[in-house]
């Protein structure tokens, strides 16, 4: 970064496992950096040093405004940024100042909560704000795949309701730590088996529990290859999620945040149900949301 690229402000996406920082000029990225210093690895006192270890070399890093979203604002984070309750706009509450020994101007975006059924998000509200910045007035459903996938109903610029699914985490646990790991020792993913398993789980969600060990036995008895087992496991879990989330996507405009494998898997799973979901760049949405939050602090200060 040279002097003409001195950041105007710094955007920070701080999740459970990763820390990502962006030196910004308006809505443009002039430099980026990332580390594994996620919230899960840090104590409260560790956030400021972790951030400065990453961006301390950037010009003016200690003097420009820093806007952060994600688990950094949880009770175990740098500072607790209280939840805003849906229905509301995604950036509903004033940002929360993080305590700093070096006089950093760090402001943390609040997550959202829902009373019934109980649910929470932190970080996704920023991506939703970014999505709405590119798609103002968009009425429909946004699916945010991840370790914990969120389905979000949006209308008139507000989050009406949302629901979280642990599908990604279950897939990781089952494929890496359960007896099925022995049947998943090679790479690859059979898309035809995936599609069939999605349909099966959607039509007969009560069969899910019975199907899991069948995958293991099919490998033991019939040498089912790893891509078959992986496609079936992924399809069963996403199919079960779609069965539970039907009220979200049925007959709706659906957008999916992400352009990689997991997002494409959701897109593929929805297609036979008559849903042609749009894929949206996740990092672009995160940065647009952080930019909207930064601008709100300029407008009010």
Binding site for a copy of itself (CB under 8 A): 83, 113-115, 117-120, 148, 163-167, 169-170, 173-174, 177-180, 205-210, 212-214, 217-218, 220-222, 237, 240-241, 243-246
CB of 166 to a copy of itself, least distance (A): 5
Cβ proximity to a copy of itself: between 27 and 243 the closer is 243
CB of 79 to a copy of itself, least distance (A): 17
Which tokens sit at 235? 């399809």
CB of 99 to a copy of itself, least distance (A): 22
Mind spelling out the 3-state secondary structure of the chain?
CCHHHCCCEEEEEECCCCEEEEEEECCEEEEEEEECCCHHHCCHHHHHHHHHHHHCCCCCCCCCEEEEECHHHCCCCCCCCCCEECCECCCCCCCEECCCCCCCEEEECCCEEECCCCEEECCHHHHHHHHHHHCCCCCEEEEECCCCEEEEEEECCEEEEEEEECHHHHHHHHHHHCHHHHHCCCCCCCHHHHHHHHHHHHHCHHHHHHHHHHHHHHHHHHCCCHHHHHHHHHHHHHHHHHHHCHHHHCCCCEEEECCCHHHHHHHHHHHHHCCCCEEECHHHHHHHHHHHHHHHHHHHC
CB of 39 to a copy of itself, least distance (A): 12
Cβ proximity to a copy of itself: between 110 and 167 the closer is 167
Integer angstrom CA distances of residue 277 from 76, 150, 259: 35, 15, 12
CB of 43 to a copy of itself, least distance (A): 16
Cβ proximity to a copy of itself: between 49 and 225 the closer is 225
Cβ proximity to a copy of itself: between 54 and 84 the closer is 84
Cβ proximity to a copy of itself: between 29 and 217 the closer is 217
Report the b/e string of 33-52 with b at 16+ CB within 10 A.
Answer: eeeebbbeebeeeebbebbb
Cβ proximity to a copy of itself: between 155 and 163 the closer is 163
CB of 238 to a copy of itself, least distance (A): 9
CB of 208 to a copy of itself, least distance (A): 7
CA-wise closest residue to 87 among 142, 135, 152, 165: 152
Cβ proximity to a copy of itself: between 159 and 290 the closer is 159
CB of 37 to a copy of itself, least distance (A): 19
Cβ proximity to a copy of itself: between 246 and 298 the closer is 246
């Amino acid at each position: 970064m040279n002097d003409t690229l001195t950041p105007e402000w710094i955007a920070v996406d701080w999740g459970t496992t990763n820390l990502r920082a962006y030196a910004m000029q308006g809505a443009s990225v002039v430099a980026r950096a990332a580390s594994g210093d996620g919230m899960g690895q840090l104590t409260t006192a560790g956030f400021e040093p972790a951030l400065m270890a990453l961006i301390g070399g950037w010009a003016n890093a200690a003097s420009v405004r820093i806007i952060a979203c994600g688990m950094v604002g949880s009770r175990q984070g740098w500072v607790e940024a209280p939840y805003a309750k849906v229905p509301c706009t995604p950036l509903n509450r004033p940002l929360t100042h993080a305590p700093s020994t070096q006089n950093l101007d760090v402001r943390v975006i609040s997550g959202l909560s829902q009373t019934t059924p109980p649910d929470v998000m932190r970080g996704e509200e920023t991506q939703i704000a970014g999505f709405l910045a590119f798609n103002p007035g968009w009425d429909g459903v946004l699916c945010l795949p991840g370790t914990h996938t969120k389905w979000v109903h949006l209308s008139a610029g507000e989050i009406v309701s949302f629901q979280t699914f642990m599908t990604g985490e279950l897939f990781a646990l089952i494929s890496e730590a359960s007896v099925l790991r022995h049947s998943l020792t090679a790479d690859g993913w059979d898309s035809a088996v995936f599609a069939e398993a999605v349909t099966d789980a959607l039509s007969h969600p009560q069969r899910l529990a019975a199907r899991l060990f069948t995958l293991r036995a099919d490998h033991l008895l019939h040498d089912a290859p790893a891509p078959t087992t992986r496609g079936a496991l992924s399809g069963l879990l996403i199919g079960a999620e779609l069965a539970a989330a039907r009220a979200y996507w049925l007959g709706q405009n659906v957008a999916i945040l992400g352009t990689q494998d997991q997002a494409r898997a959701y897109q593929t799973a929805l297609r036979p149900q008559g849903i042609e979901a749009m894929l949206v760049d996740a990092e672009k949405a995160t940065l647009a949301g952080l930019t909207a939050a930064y601008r709100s602090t300029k407008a009010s200060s």
